Structure 1
């Protein structure tokens, strides 16, 4: 990837001198941008292009260029790419359009290009793209206009037109960039690759995405979840309405539309989504110019009452208010403002506000600890020069510790002042509403960080799953060519995974129903069982509160007569009998639907016959823990009711969390379950129970390797039991997010020396961010095992070892931490050896680590396992390396 963004030499294939051509613009932009490396035009019809020597083919260039830009017709691209591979060029940008977006012929050309680079290590951006810009390297490898300013904001866009808009707008607002990437059709390099790369680049502080679709979603989720912890990622996802909700056999399938799934995925990754191009750029300006807000407390300074109200109203749309004013700050403002000022926030400093008044109020707000951001609003007033105010403010905000931004409202009269603010890196917005919304998107990112650092609590009970029963049931259905399971079959599968269901029996006649009822507690509910009728209540197929034999016979007759009348061709299996749970406190809809891109998607919301009308639901992606399950519930309008309302007792929220976790595990284990609907899940006396259920099956192509998921689940198959050198029984397993308390206990038994050896600094306490970093890992890109003492009644963590993979998947960095009481007993070797074996299975080739020279325990352990030990760049450190291709593990 580095050859694409930090090349020492660039070849432009298709370069020419024709005014207005792409080949000419590419060469001109490289020259005008000040690229310091060598520029090689390639065109057999020219001896020189823009005064530079031209080559007939890239093979003639010695040494081979790092980067090749192809601007010839798409049909020539496969052959040119093969030449690049043979010559040793490692980065390729294909500007040419006409790939798969043009039809079958273009798709075949892209396949040929892909085949040309397969296994070579060459990376490709495009085709059908604008190119790449790196202001810090004076690299403008696009056919767009002038070089933008240098900054810390990276932009990735699928649309070249959106790129040109942002670049033009950025020039007006004085917004700078670290990277600007148009990725086009994403034949090779995609969003996941770029997020990984930019996340490891220190010059990038935040990332903006314009997205139309995703490829390799699991890689994208993995990269985004890692990088969003340390850098804001803001996305504008276009195409919200083109797909909508797909027709499905269950309520769940009908309510889980494509765009809602993207929303759920972005939330899970910690990405902030914006709804429009204007808001994307508003966020870009604030991110590029100001520090991120530590919280949501906004101070609003205005010289007009109306604009201040507009700002407060926008906060109210998001359930917020302007920050409360501390008494100390109020007293300071009373001393400098007229007696008739607003005496609150928004701080209305009145229409006759002078430059000095603006400055004095801002000075007080900047010094206050009660605010996390300041919005300054100015409307045109005859007594105040906007440019003078702007100049004064630019001098003050240089010492800012939180974002300061402005809404200078007006047109021609404000233009000069707005330019002054932009040049001083103070974001400006046309209206207070836009300014507040940009601030709140940054607040959302801050909240995301807090959520990502929270420790999920453990469930109070251990979970057991009867996988064998579900496996047999599903494959018996396949053998019988059944894909839509009956209520009875569905509930048996749910019960095997510990999901609470009520007793349900199948009756094929009225006499059988009466006989079965004698063994059940009255009253009963009777429901139609038919693979062809999805919504039973719509055809009178649900009869409730049946108390005797006469009720049962009449109900059976009503169900059958109505079903045969409305659906004469429908297959009718019989009726289900189950206890009638009268007057439930709540009715919920809980289920799962398989999205063609994201795999299984979980749903939680209000249920019953009005589920689709109410449309009160939240989506989530498996795997879940208690914290993630609770967040799903918090996104629904029914949660406040579930906490208890008037005569309705509260639901047992932990039981609901557990139900969602069990459902998550079921669809993880069985990709054959493509739709699952529990509607309603009745909550009565606090306890949930699924009183109706429906499961749809389809044969899976992913097998048991969890390839149907976009987030790697906990790898339970890697758990193992072992003994230390002193015969202490160990339970070695991958780390879990719920292990944070155990990790704190381990940290507390470490000596200051051990802490220094591991962290290379003095660490007295573990912050939530550090705890999350160690325990909430991505199992696709990190390997981490803990050793637990099996002799203890309460779990005790004795040590941890991990390997963090680099983006290419070929290299990784290891670390080991063993509690002082257990060092030297062989635990470290057991853990690290397990990590190395898994790393080799995943195709990793080199594992390395850095240790302090005085850490003799770690050096000895590494030598024992076959690491080579070399002096590091610093004489106080050693670098340990092992080649997994040849290591004997």
Structure 2
């Protein structure tokens, strides 16, 4: 039961090392299970439980142990519990998780109380213990992922918005909510989304003309606002290689569509080139939730998303690390890494596409649903074979405040600005990003002990990854940190940080700043503090305060110049 529960919840049994196996062979009866799960047999007493537990705790392949006890004539449950606690307290293995499931209710009640008293959790069934362990694992995995440094992806996600709003308004004024395939792909192309070029043909002669211009083979798809699932309606014909085949396919598609939905408005067909490449099909989509705003979906594409229900979800804005987490939660991710003679998909390209998709949802609250299925990807390329966009007509015509549709505040690009140092060099003042961790570390290495003491109130020799990521991965709704970025000889560096952490009421906040020693006396500290104050005004913050060491005379003098009053604690 425990093994089934582990596998069902996405875990796996540890493979015991040969050293552990040899030891267990020497202390257990010859007819033990000889593997994991370990059956130490019904004649086991407390000393055998303890010996096996210690061997498993020593094994580097083992992250956690679930001990399952059923009432036996020769084994006293309290003695077993005492031996477990003794082992746990007297060794250096207490960083490994130990869970127990003593079955038998009243017969094991005293043992369970003793275990709980000594901080070893007990569960009435093995399945409950497994679920708890997997929740712990998932929680730690999520934290580890959040503390990873995202890669800087080479994506341009700032297209002009006005032409895209024109597309949405034209659709809304025609009393439509759904963009046709050609309109949807045009919308995606503005974000440099890789799409298969698609044109609309109202008649069979138009379809022939388009196909001749594109070159055979081509694909025809029904064009109708009411027919969403084109394949189910018989509205897709692949690999058309001649005019004769195309005319026949056109007529068949129209006829099938009318039979599928007699009330559907048939606008014609779409024509696109047939892509004959080996690769993978995934789905990338979104739907607006009343509470959480746009929710992004990634999973197995084609009919697989409905047949296998293999998908994962996330909330925008997404960076490379968050995208990778969403992908890893699906079964199709294992396929994307390659199998048999099929090369792996270009995961970096797929991550970049998903980040761009996320940015599109951030930019346009008018998008109610987006469905890109299938999104084809192989080792080199990616193409959106089909796309569907549903809009909120009300939001198209009314003024919508930026980012109000999101539950996670995105990177505040509006706070980017340039400024010239006293020596003539230009820096970019911008909010800090999770991707800045390497730059933050290089900046920290340039601080003197005095600068570090003034900023952190103690001398810090080194900062671990977990600390660095907390300084760079911030919640822009509750904190703002501005860094001056300088690019010289193609190398980027940040010269300091000014940070304002807001209090829970968001009406006040604490400001702190530091400038790398090499770039002091260039007016940077004054500019950083001044800019942070302006941002706080924009965020409707009413009061800003700073806590400083009394001998930090230069910083105190700067704050006085900014209009701050000084109080000594």
Q: TM-score, normalised by structure 1?
A: 0.59
Structure 2 partner of 1:324: 16
Cα deviation for residue 456 of structure 1 reads: 0.7
User: 2:337 touches 2:345 (CA, 8 Å); kept in 1?
Assistant: yes
How has the CA–CA distance of structure 1 residues 559 and 752 changed in structure 2, closer, same or farther, with 3 Å as cutoff? same
CA displacement 1:298-323 (0-9 Å, x = unmatched): xxxxxxxxxxxx54554344332236
Q: Secondary structure at the match of 1:679?
A: strand
Q: Secondary structure at the match of 1:545?
A: strand
Structure 1 partner of 2:74: 383
One of 519, 539, 560 as aligned partner of 1:842: 539
Structure 2 partner of 1:598: 292
Q: Take 1:428 and 1:843, find their aligned partners in 2: how far apart are those partners?
A: 50
Cα deviation for residue 438 of structure 1 reads: 1.9
User: 1:491 touches 1:693 (CA, 8 Å); kept in 2?
Assistant: yes
How has the CA–CA distance of structure 1 residues 391 and 630 changed in structure 2, closer, same or farther, with 3 Å as cutoff? closer
One of 710, 733, 738 as aligned partner of 2:407: 710
Q: Secondary structure at the match of 1:868?
A: coil
Q: Secondary structure at the match of 2:100?
A: strand
User: 1:783 touches 1:803 (CA, 8 Å); kept in 2?
Assistant: yes
Q: Secondary structure at the match of 1:756?
A: helix
Structure 2 partner of 1:451: 145
Structure 1 partner of 2:319: 625
Question: Size of the alignment, in residue pairs?
Answer: 562
Structure 2 partner of 1:833: 530
Cα deviation for residue 792 of structure 1 reads: 4.8
How has the CA–CA distance of structure 1 residues 819 and 348 changed in structure 2, closer, same or farther, with 3 Å as cutoff? same
Q: Take 2:259 and 2:69, find their aligned partners in 1: how far apart are those partners?
A: 70
One of 540, 550, 554 as aligned partner of 1:853: 550
Structure 2 partner of 1:154: none
Q: Take 2:37 and 2:250, find their aligned partners in 1: how far apart are those partners?
A: 67
Cα deviation for residue 567 of structure 1 reads: 3.1
CA displacement 1:756-791 (0-9 Å, x = unmatched): 333333433332211221111111111111111155
CA displacement 1:662-692 (0-9 Å, x = unmatched): 1111111111111112222223563111122
Structure 1 partner of 2:134: 440
Unmatched tracts of structure 1, length 5 or more: 1-309, 873-889
User: 1:584 touches 1:682 (CA, 8 Å); kept in 2?
Assistant: no
Structure 1 partner of 2:458: 761
User: 1:787 touches 1:799 (CA, 8 Å); kept in 2?
Assistant: yes
The answer as to 2:274 corresponding to 1:573 is: no
Q: Secondary structure at the match of 2:547?
A: strand
Q: Secondary structure at the match of 1:744?
A: helix
Structure 2 partner of 1:786: 483
Q: Take 2:259 and 2:131, find their aligned partners in 1: how far apart are those partners?
A: 55
Structure 1 partner of 2:353: 659
Structure 2 partner of 1:750: 447
User: 2:14 touches 2:62 (CA, 8 Å); kept in 1?
Assistant: no
Q: Take 1:752 and 1:339, find their aligned partners in 2: how far apart are those partners?
A: 64
Q: Take 1:340 and 1:455, find their aligned partners in 2: how far apart are those partners?
A: 49
Q: Take 2:40 and 2:246, find their aligned partners in 1: how far apart are those partners?
A: 76
Q: Take 1:763 and 1:554, find their aligned partners in 2: how far apart are those partners?
A: 76
Q: Take 1:693 and 1:488, find their aligned partners in 2: how far apart are those partners?
A: 8
Q: Between 620-629 and 678-687, report the one with greater CA deviation.
A: 678-687
One of 539, 543, 548 as aligned partner of 2:242: 548
Q: Between 421-430 and 317-326, report the one with greater CA deviation.
A: 317-326
CA RMSD of aligned residues (A): 2.8
One of 355, 370, 382 as aligned partner of 1:688: 382
Cα deviation for residue 827 of structure 1 reads: 1.6
Structure 2 partner of 1:67: none
How has the CA–CA distance of structure 1 residues 510 and 351 changed in structure 2, closer, same or farther, with 3 Å as cutoff? closer
One of 794, 798, 806 as aligned partner of 2:503: 806
Structure 2 partner of 1:98: none
Structure 1 partner of 2:210: 516
Unmatched tracts of structure 2, length 5 or more: none
Structure 1 partner of 2:104: 410
Structure 2 partner of 1:795: 492
Q: Take 1:538 and 1:352, find their aligned partners in 2: how far apart are those partners?
A: 62
Cα deviation for residue 632 of structure 1 reads: 1.8
Q: Take 1:333 and 1:567, find their aligned partners in 2: how far apart are those partners?
A: 68
How has the CA–CA distance of structure 1 residues 757 and 344 changed in structure 2, closer, same or farther, with 3 Å as cutoff? farther
How has the CA–CA distance of structure 1 residues 525 and 385 changed in structure 2, closer, same or farther, with 3 Å as cutoff? closer
Cα deviation for residue 711 of structure 1 reads: 0.8
CA displacement 1:608-632 (0-9 Å, x = unmatched): 2454223222222111111111222
* Correspondences of 1:68-79 after superposition (within 5 Å): none
One of 178, 188, 203 as aligned partner of 1:484: 178
Q: TM-score, normalised by structure 2?
A: 0.90
